[in-house]
Structure 1
Amino acid sequence: MLNYIDLFAGAGGLSEGFIKAGFTPVAHIEMDKNACLSLKTRISYHYLKSQDQLEIYYSYLRQNISQAELYSHVPSHLLKSAIQAEISDLSIKNLFDRIDNLLNGGKIDLIVGGPPCQAYSLVGRSKINSLGDQHVSTDIRYELYKQYGRFLQKYQPEYFVFENVLGLRSAEKGQLLLRIKKYFEKECGYKIDWRIVNAYEYGVLQLRKRIIIIGKRGLDPFEYPEFERVRRENSWNVKESLFSDLEPLSVGEEKHYSLYKDLPVNSYLQKHGIRSEVNFVTQHITRPHNSRDLAIYRLAIEKWEEGERLKYPDLPEELRTHRNLTSFLDRYKVVDPDGLCHTVVAHIARDGHYYIYPDKNQTRSLSVREAARIQSFPDDYFFEGGRGAAFKQIGNAVPPQLAFVIARKMKELLLEKPVNEFYLHPYTTSPAESVGAH
């Protein structure tokens, strides 16, 4: 069975797609405590699924058992594969030792992941620049690709997948991407190529552009893989495909355990495996809002229903909090119910102004579960750490559906043959998969 290491793993969106495609994770490395716990909880799900013991996991989702009790049913070496650590010069030897123990003499087929994107994003760079002219070049996050490269040097997988924001392309007027290319080729021995992908072309109901760098060991030219696009059915949209079977919410309401509406499962949820196998969903929770925000949200929805987007200067003077009428004019944004959502980012953890639910009967921002569905996370995916931590993890994640499409193609490259769509539990082996076993 083919395996991989996930660096800068977050809550595991990228990993979820690779597991669904039949890869086995050796290790996930993530510095955020809550995201690392989410990884352990998802590891518990996959292990218990492989053992036909999912009722234990569902008991946890129902809050009938504790996190400690859930983890007690999972082999310790699997839980230890989610490593909470910052990847740095100080930690890397210890990380190598821990991965070597998990590998037990085996080899790594693939490394995936992408360093935190804030330093590469346009907004992140403007904040860094405000700290001083030299800060961009010395900010440690700019150098994290080199830490990624040290794992390539150590484990020498056949391929790697490096995901990041579009700002990587323009950082330092394009020089940063050239330096990354040179580093991976000269220092690590990998030929690389990259493309911009938009998640909606691969089955995600969201406009989300990202750079995907693929590296192949050796310096011979290689053909960048063509990821298989998913045909979008006419009925697929945010309101009908993602929101229609979820219970309505009031402002600030928290339905940690919520039954689905009594409706047939729609084709989108069914095709992408988002609906849970049980009749309930968790973390359908939304934040409270003050009267001013709610008034603005109602105006934004009314504007949307008239076919327009609310701009900040459109607000009555009594609803404005500042005098800047020339920048960030779309700070209040309604999610398009009839099409695709705009990009979900980690800022959703701070406020919901950019993610307004598209219905005056539920004037509020998105719930955690609605945001997770927009990112294509399955309904049984649980995000640890509370509402704000969950929003942050969701906004930072690679959509699992996009990751799955990438993973299927990487599997073809590694096995050098086409693969059929299937789901294989990551902690079991079948004869069909023995080709990639070590």
Structure 2
Amino acid sequence: MSEKFTYIDLFAGAGGLSEGFIRAGYEPVAHVEMDKAACYTLKTRVAYHYLKSENRFNEYISYLKGEISRSELYNKVPEELLNSVINLPIGDDHNETIHNEIEKQLKGKSVDLIIGGPPCQAYSLAGRARSSNGMKGDKRNFLYVQYAKYLEIYQPKLFVFENVYGLLSAGNGIYLDNMKKLFLKKGYDMKIFKIEANNFGVLQNRKRIIIIGVKQDHKIEIPNLGSVKLVSGDNVSSILEDLPEVQAGENKGHFTKYKTEANTYLTSSFIRNGIDILTQHHARPHTDQDKEIYRIAVQKWNENKERLSYNDLPERLKTHKNRKSFFDRFKIVASDQPFSQTVVAHIAKDGHYYIHPDVNQNRSLTVREAARLQSFPDDYFFEGIKDGNARTPAFKQIGNAVPPLMAYGIAKKIIELL
């Protein structure tokens, strides 16, 4: 396309949704995100796209290898591009500043789309279950009001709003009903789709709501995203088989090499896309007790195709007081299944729900393995606040992200309309 369609990414996170839209040929105007570590990840991705477009990709590789620092990488990128990542919370206290920064990026151009979804904890079933009052009064319940303000100001042709299934039932449906009324008042008709990431080729069981809104004066027929069935036919083993073995707590430095050549799935899903080095494939350390439990979970699955129930563990390994629920708190990522369990932000706290299927490695997933389950390409680097090991913030960003492969499928459907 000679003239790319432009978009603003609100609540951008680590940029999974944006990555899919860039891959489909759209041009980002700005990413707005309150989490500082995620903003560094977004800036590093800005550097990636810029250096690649300038035929200076080797300079990005130097960063992945640890040969230059993050600040040295950013010095290679025009400051204006880095400023397109706006590290502020969306809300009345900061909207004016955010709008001023966006206007600098627009340079008189219009905005074709707004994409992004507010943090999902306020709508998720799990989040409401953990909250003492079902998250009533939580400000995140009303971030869609802020979203509507951005629609009013920038008047995009369409918007793409991503969230969890729990949005349908949150507040007995009142939030979704109010959302429809508010978006309609701002001039947008909307359609709601229940979609599954594995239908877009993502090897993960991830169910989400996608709301597509269209400006009423644009005669655009919204595509049926729920009808997409791009099942790959691959198993989870496809994203693990080329990775070198790693033991719990093992760190092989800034990068390592692949064990084998890329298979068809890894190339068709854009996960392996040309680089020959592997980053962030470090395993977190585990206690001897956890490793013993992991071994039992893996053997139970590999030998009998049975999931471990917490109450089946020997008494000496049962340290949790809760014996009446959450029996699958230790769960293997089964390599012989067509998709894994959902990757969520809790993976930043521990890896018990994401046990590697190789009993000889006896550990939970690495950052890179979790990123692959989310379909992030291997050249995507997840940052922390400081340079160095960013495992915890990286896991959090990955768990909260939209799978880029799913985002790419959605973006392709929309670009046909535009």
TM tier, shorter chain? over 0.9
Higher relative contact order (CA 8 A, sep 6+): 1
1:291 and 2:327 correspond: no
How far does residue 233 in structure 1 lie from its aligned partner after superposition?
4.3
Distance 1:271 1:311 in 2: 36
| Equivalent AA in structure 1 for residue 103 of structure 2 | D
Distance 2:141 2:95 in 1: 17
1:413 and 2:417 correspond: yes
How far does residue 223 in structure 1 lie from its aligned partner after superposition?
3.9
State the secondary structure of the residue aligned to 1:145.
helix
1:248 matched residue in structure 2: 245
2:323 matched residue in structure 1: 325
State the secondary structure of the residue aligned to 1:5.
strand
How far does residue 182 in structure 1 lie from its aligned partner after superposition?
1.0
Distance 1:210 1:400 in 2: 14
Q: Is the 8 A contact 2:383 2:393 kept in 1?
A: yes
Distance 1:276 1:220 in 2: 37
Distance 1:257 1:276, change over 3 A: farther
State the secondary structure of the residue aligned to 1:360.
coil
* Mapping 1:102-251, distance limit 5 Å: 102-128=105-131, 130=132, 132=133, 136=136, 138-186=137-185, 188-218=186-216, 223-227=221-225, 229=228, 231-234=230-233, 236-239=234-237, 241-251=238-248
1:98 matched residue in structure 2: 101
Figure out how many residues of one structure are paired with residues of the other and give that number: 406
How far does residue 325 in structure 1 lie from its aligned partner after superposition?
2.0
| Equivalent AA in structure 2 for residue 224 of structure 1 | I
How far does residue 218 in structure 1 lie from its aligned partner after superposition?
1.5
Distance 1:254 1:333 in 2: 24
Q: Is the 8 A contact 2:267 2:273 kept in 1?
A: no
Q: Among all aligned residue pairs of Structure 1 and Structure 2, give the percentage whose two residues are the same amino acid.
A: 54
2:77 matched residue in structure 1: 74
**Cα offsets for 1:30-65 (capped at 9, x unmatched):** 000000000000000000110100000000000001
State the secondary structure of the residue aligned to 2:267.
helix
Unaligned runs of 5+ in 1: 415-438
How far does residue 326 in structure 1 lie from its aligned partner after superposition?
1.7
How far does residue 231 in structure 1 lie from its aligned partner after superposition?
3.8
How far does residue 405 in structure 1 lie from its aligned partner after superposition?
0.4
How far does residue 221 in structure 1 lie from its aligned partner after superposition?
8.7
1:423 matched residue in structure 2: none
1:58 matched residue in structure 2: 61
How far does residue 173 in structure 1 lie from its aligned partner after superposition?
1.5
Specify which of 370, 390, 412 is matched with residue 394 of structure 2: 390
Q: Is the 8 A contact 1:191 1:220 kept in 2?
A: no
How far does residue 264 in structure 1 lie from its aligned partner after superposition?
3.1
How far does residue 68 in structure 1 lie from its aligned partner after superposition?
1.0
Distance 2:416 2:232 in 1: 26
Q: Is the 8 A contact 1:185 1:219 kept in 2?
A: no
| Equivalent AA in structure 1 for residue 284 of structure 2 | R
2:332 matched residue in structure 1: 334
| Equivalent AA in structure 2 for residue 273 of structure 1 | F
| Equivalent AA in structure 1 for residue 174 of structure 2 | Q
| Equivalent AA in structure 2 for residue 155 of structure 1 | Y
1:402 matched residue in structure 2: 406
**Cα offsets for 1:135-192 (capped at 9, x unmatched):** 51x2110010011111100000000000001111111122221111111112x11111
Distance 2:379 2:411 in 1: 21
Distance 2:68 2:60 in 1: 9
Distance 1:323 1:115 in 2: 34
TM-score by length of 2: 0.94
State the secondary structure of the residue aligned to 2:301.
helix
**Cα offsets for 1:332-391 (capped at 9, x unmatched):** 110020121110000000000000001111100000000001100000000001000100
Distance 1:68 1:310, change over 3 A: same
State the secondary structure of the residue aligned to 1:85.
coil
1:312 matched residue in structure 2: 310
State the secondary structure of the residue aligned to 1:403.
helix
How far does residue 312 in structure 1 lie from its aligned partner after superposition?
1.0
| Equivalent AA in structure 1 for residue 235 of structure 2 | N
| Equivalent AA in structure 1 for residue 382 of structure 2 | F
1:48 and 2:51 correspond: yes
Q: Is the 8 A contact 1:191 1:221 kept in 2?
A: no
Distance 2:310 2:51 in 1: 49
Distance 1:175 1:231 in 2: 33
Distance 1:220 1:13, change over 3 A: closer
How far does residue 219 in structure 1 lie from its aligned partner after superposition?
7.4
Distance 2:398 2:406 in 1: 14
How far does residue 230 in structure 1 lie from its aligned partner after superposition?
5.5
State the secondary structure of the residue aligned to 1:361.
coil
Specify which of 251, 255, 262 is matched with residue 265 of structure 1: 262
State the secondary structure of the residue aligned to 1:285.
coil
How far does residue 280 in structure 1 lie from its aligned partner after superposition?
1.1
Q: Is the 8 A contact 1:205 1:238 kept in 2?
A: yes
How far does residue 232 in structure 1 lie from its aligned partner after superposition?
3.3
Distance 2:354 2:183 in 1: 38
Distance 1:182 1:337 in 2: 44
2:366 matched residue in structure 1: 367
Distance 1:334 1:153 in 2: 46
Specify which of 261, 278, 283 is matched with residue 281 of structure 1: 278
1:425 matched residue in structure 2: none
